[in-house]
């Protein structure tokens, strides 16, 4: 039996999503990646002759979650090294080797042989996604959403010799931030809630408590292809989150050989200015979600009910997907 008005509500929601997607898609088509390249910025590029241990150390010491790789012999872009790769490496080696054996093994592998190393677990491929700086943000957004990657390299061609030139990197976060600041018609962003736009993943959430070990959470990351786990108290209320970026903090503290520590100890290592956990409800508007993302630089929001219990997760890719045709 149909519920009176249900079909009309669904049609109204579809119309709202279409209207918003048309607005956002037009904006993205009017701007290229070049428009987002800052006047001054730092770009870390890793030579494929680097040992994997030194390359991962470069990520850790610079506090970045990804960096492009460059093959000097072939004069070409060779893919991205990411914290997700680090998480997969930890899971693989922790399950099969001792810490010292892992360091010794990785200390003999160069980035150019990294693809073979990644194939040892879950057949994961190196992220070789890239775009030209003159490609529209619409094209780049669709390219990112067609994969499970959140970042790609902007690669141009040297007109003198045809070699690849890595210009910058572009992430879903930066695209959403650019839109939040520069879309003129913000009224439409305030008219649509997460519920209206069906943004987020709901049900069967992977969660943990403060006494769960870090290595167990890393296994959750790998086994479920996720990058964040909400941390709950005994009543199921959200206390915090543990994310892939926290692995970087552990590595910086030299604790990759002590992953049996409870997550509570790992969270205590965060700096005072760490953005922490940010929640929202399904009734929050897209404008408020984008504003939170822009101000806090968080990579996802935990959707909670009235009792602060988690009901879903909103990733940046979920938000971007709802905003393009």
Walk along the chain (325 residues) and give the pLDDT tens digit of each residue. 455 555 666 666 677 778 888 989 999 999 999 999 988 888 999 999 998 888 888 888 887 888 999 999 999 999 998 888 888 888 888 878 777 887 787 778 888 887 676 666 554 556 788 999 999 999 999 999 998 889 999 999 999 999 999 999 999 999 999 998 998 888 888 888 998 888 999 988 999 999 999 999 999 998 888 889 999 999 999 999 999 888 888 887 888 888 899 999 999 988 877 767 889 999 999 999 999 988 888 888 999 999 999 999 999 999 999 888 7
Predicted local distance difference test score (pLDDT) of residue 102: 78
Question: Which residues contact residue 121 at a Cβ distance below 8 angstroms, ignoring those fewer than 6 apart?
Answer: 88, 91, 92, 222
Please report the sign of the dihedral spanned by the C-alpha atoms of residue 125, residue 126, residue 127, residue 132.
negative
Q: Would you state the pLDDT for residue 10? A: 60
From edge to edge, which strands make up the β-sheet containing 228-232? 208-209, 228-232, 238-243
pLDDT at 155: 96
Q: How far, in Å, CA of 308 to CA of 298, rounded?
A: 19
Task: State the pLDDT at residue 64.
Answer: 85
Type and span of the H or E element at 67? strand 66-71
Angle, CA 198 vertex, CA 245 and CA 127 arms, to 5°: 35
* pLDDT on residue 99: 76
pTM over 0.85: yes
Cα-based distances in Å from 32 to 66, 276, 314: 22, 32, 26
Say what the pLDDT of residue 148 is.
80
Residue appearing with tokens 């979600």 = 289
Phi, psi values for residue 36, rounded to 5° = -100, -5
Q: What is the pLDDT of residue 215?
A: 92
Phi, psi of 309 (to 5 degrees): -95, 140
Q: In 255-267, which positions are buried (b, 16+ CB within 10 angstroms) versus exposed (e)?
A: bbeebeebbeebb
268 three-class SS: coil
Task: Report the DSSP pairing between strands 228-232 and 208-209.
Answer: parallel
Token pair recorded at residue 151: 């970042």
């Amino acid at each position: 039996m149909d519920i009176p008005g249900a079909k009309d509500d669904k049609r109204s929601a579809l119309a709202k999503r279409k209207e918003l997607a048309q607005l956002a898609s037009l904006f993205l088509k009017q701007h290229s990646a070049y428009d987002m390249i800052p006047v001054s910025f730092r770009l870390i590029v890793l030579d494929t002759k680097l040992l994997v241990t030194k390359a991962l150390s470069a990520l850790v010491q610079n506090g970045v979650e990804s960096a492009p790789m460059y093959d000097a012999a072939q004069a070409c872009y060779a893919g991205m090294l990411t914290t997700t790769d680090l998480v997969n490496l930890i899971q693989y080696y922790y399950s099969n080797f001792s810490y010292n054996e892992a360091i010794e093994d990785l200390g003999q592998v160069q980035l150019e042989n990294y693809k073979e190393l990644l194939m040892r677990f879950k057949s994961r491929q190196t992220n070789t996604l890239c775009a030209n700086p003159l490609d529209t943000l619409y094209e780049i957004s669709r390219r990112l959403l067609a994969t499970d990657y959140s970042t790609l390299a902007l690669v141009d061609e040297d007109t003198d010799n045809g070699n690849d030139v890595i210009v910058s990197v572009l992430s879903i976060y930066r695209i959403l931030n650019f839109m939040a600041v520069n879309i003129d018609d913000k009224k439409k962003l305030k008219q649509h809630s997460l519920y209206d736009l069906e943004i987020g993943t709901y049900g069967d959430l992977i969660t943990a408590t403060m006494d769960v070990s870090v290595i167990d959470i890393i296994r959750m990351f790998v086994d479920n292809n996720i990058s964040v786990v909400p941390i709950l108290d005994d009543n199921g209320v959200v206390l915090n989150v543990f994310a892939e970026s926290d692995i970087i903090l552990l590595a910086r503290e030299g604790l990759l050989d002590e992953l049996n520590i409870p997550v509570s100890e790992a969270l205590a290592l965060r700096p005072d200015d760490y953005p922490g956990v940010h929640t929202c409800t399904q009734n929050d508007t897209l404008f408020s979600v984008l504003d939170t993302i822009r101000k806090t630089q968080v990579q996802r929001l935990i959707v909670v009910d009235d009792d602060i219990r988690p009901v879903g997760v909103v990733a940046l890719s979920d938000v971007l997907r709802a905003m393009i045709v």
